[in-house]
Amino acid sequence: MISLIDWWKEHLLTCPSKYFFHVDCPGCGLQRSIAALLEGDLLKSLTLYPATIPIFFCLIFTALHLKLGFKCGAAAIKWLAILSAAIIAAFYLYKLLAHQLLAT
């Protein structure tokens, strides 16, 4: 019997940027990273998309803040979002530079 994770891995969405322009977008790797995380492979998940863990933490913290109303919750959410965006930008820049340097 096929598991839900295996089914999902076989039906990942195609990135339009990669499909049409052959260039990774800042979100490329997120779906595969989530699948690896759900399978329990933390190292593979971080290798595929380092911002997955901070994004999940931010989403979970936001849900808890909305339910429990933490005193400094809004500020913490803002900084978690900034951290996630910085990781995404740094990793995307690294991928672009690494692929460009390897292609030459």
* pLDDT tens, position by position, 9-44: 888 888 888 889 888 889 989 999 999 998 999 999
Task: Provide the CB-side half-sphere exposure for 73 (13 A, CA).
Answer: 15
Domain boundaries, the chain: 4-103
Q: What is the pTM of this model?
A: 0.83
* pLDDT for position 9: 82
Helices and strands of the chain, counted as H and E runs: 6, 0
Q: What are phi and psi of 88, to 5 degrees?
A: -60, -50
Rounded mean pLDDT of the chain?
89
CB 58 within 8 A of CB 81: yes
- 46-55 burial, b at 16+ Cβ within 10 Å, e below that, comes to eebbbbbbbb
